[in-house]
Amino acid sequence: MTKSERLFAKAKTLIPGGVNSPVRAFSPYPFFTKCAKGSRLVDVDGNEYIDYCMGYGPLILGHAHPHVVRAVREQLENGTLFGTPSEQEVELAELICKLVPSAEMVRLVTTGAEATMSAIRVARGFTRKKKIVKFEGCYHGAHDCVLVKAGSGATTLGMPDSLGIPEETTRNTIVVPYNDVEKFEKAVKREKENLAAVIVEPVIGNIGVVLPKEGFLETLRELTAKYGVVLIFDEVITGFRLALGGAQEYYGVTPDLTTLGKILGGGLPMAAYAGKEEIMRLTAPSGKVYQAGTFSGNPISVVAGLATLMAIRQKGRAFYDEMEQKKKKLCDGIRDLQRDGKYPVTVNEIASMFQLFFTDGEVNDYKSAKRADTAKFMTFQKKLLENGVFVPPSQFETCFISSEHSQEDIEETLLAIEESLEQTIT
Ligand SMILES: *Cc1c(COP(=O)(O)O)cnc(C)c1O
């Protein structure tokens, strides 16, 4: 019995399902990580893996990047939590407002879920309306009003994805298929009297990677502007990932509010919501929309975030280009493997994000993503592990490349993928 296996057995008696966030559990048991550096994870049994989960997105500089480690270490000596404002928070706020096109003001929070919850609240406060539109397959964190058709969860129509959420709560959430401008327009026209906000992942990263069709984001912008609805881009994954200014810079579409997280904390817990000053200033204490958090803007997360953003900024466009090239090499390599039609997989990719789906059809929304063979994916994931590569243990997650993935990593991974596909398909 491995140490991971033993730890998992014990964990299951103490922690529901043995894990502190559901996707981390997979069968027969997840490996328990002992340490991580750069592109690699090492488990408690001494196995090493090339990591494409990267903490589910935050670790764009890889694990334990020296800049981040130094910033955190220095800050530790000066205190971990003040309960007062600090200079670094102002510096980070200024940087966010400089980098993210829609950000005129920003409030720091601790998790992505808190960011979307607060953004929706301030949008409702601003419009004094209560309904929101969300899209099938978009995940906005584990809070009540957005846990409907949210990525890999249960999918009963119009019903919450979770027990414990009153129907009354999700009744104000209108769910529309992603990439479907006609249904969106219909929904907005029908609900415009009561509609506070539209929230969307500009690129979906929570049913695998799904890209917006040409004109989709522009239509959201146009119609929300026309009907006075607040447009929220949930850039918790795409922020600082597609570009320093996120998907809004990449696609040239500016929302009213933006939620950020993951990369923002440089591997520590931090998130934010940002946007137009006239909306943001409604947040307490300058306005009447209440929002608060003990750990908000804590100095450890803030310096880790600053160190991360500064490191990216220093390298400029080349930082993103290099990661994109490595991803391209990987994805092209996977496509080359299929040339003879042996492996019916579809690869979706953008910037340093990718996912392969076990389906031969195009994947451009929730329905088409759900067509993928999830059992095959899990076999593939397991084979990859045996071959020294860790991808998130779900068909409905995203693989991330960091700046620390080397050409050798990519080559090694391609060999592992080839072998694992072979073992999966046959
Ligand atoms: C991860 C994620 C969230 C939730 O962030 P947490 O920090 O896990 O609460 C929200 N939105 C998107 C798009 C995400 O990917």
CB of 405 closer than 8 Å to CB of 326: yes
Q: Tell me what percent of the residues of the chain surpass a pLDDT of 90.
A: 93
Confidence (pTM): 0.97
Whether ligand 1 lies within 6 angstroms of the CB of 234 is answered as yes
Catalytic residues: 139, 234, 262
Q: In what order do the strands lie in the sheet with 353-357?
A: 346-350, 353-357, 399-400
Rounded Cα distance, 413 and 398, in Å: 16
**CATH number belonging to domain 67-314:** 3.40.640.10
158 pLDDT above the threshold of 90? no
* 325 token code pair: 């090239």
Helix 407-425, helix 317-337: angle, nearest 10: 30
Angle at 197 between CA 264 and CA 183, to 5 degrees: 110
- Which tens digits make up the pLDDT trace of 318-343? 999 999 999 999 999 999 988 777 78
Whether ligand 1 lies within 6 angstroms of the CB of 116 is answered as yes
In the beta sheet, which residues pair with residue 199?
232
What pLDDT band is residue 156 in, cutting at 50, 70 and 90? Answer: very low
Closest atom of ligand 1 to 234 CA is 13
Q: How far is the CA of 92 from the centre of ligand 1 (A)?
A: 20
Extents of the domains making up the chain: 1-30, 67-314
Supply the pLDDT for residue 348. 98
CB of 274 closer than 8 Å to CB of 101: no
Across the chain, mean pLDDT equals 95
Q: How far is the CA of 308 from the centre of ligand 1 (A)?
A: 19
Whether ligand 1 lies within 6 angstroms of the CB of 385 is answered as no
Residue 122 neighbours by CB under 8 Å, 6+ apart: 257, 273, 279, 280, 282, 283, 289, 291
What pLDDT band is residue 220 in, cutting at 50, 70 and 90? Answer: very high
Helix 299-315, helix 317-337: angle, nearest 10: 80
Whether ligand 1 lies within 6 angstroms of the CB of 202 is answered as no
* 89 token code pair: 């928070």
Entry field: residues in the chain: 426
93 pLDDT above the threshold of 70? yes
Supply the pLDDT for residue 154. 37
CB of 304 closer than 8 Å to CB of 266: yes
Question: What is the mean pLDDT of the segment spanning 213-238?
Answer: 98
**Nearest alpha-carbon partner for 59 in 359, 268, 206:** 268
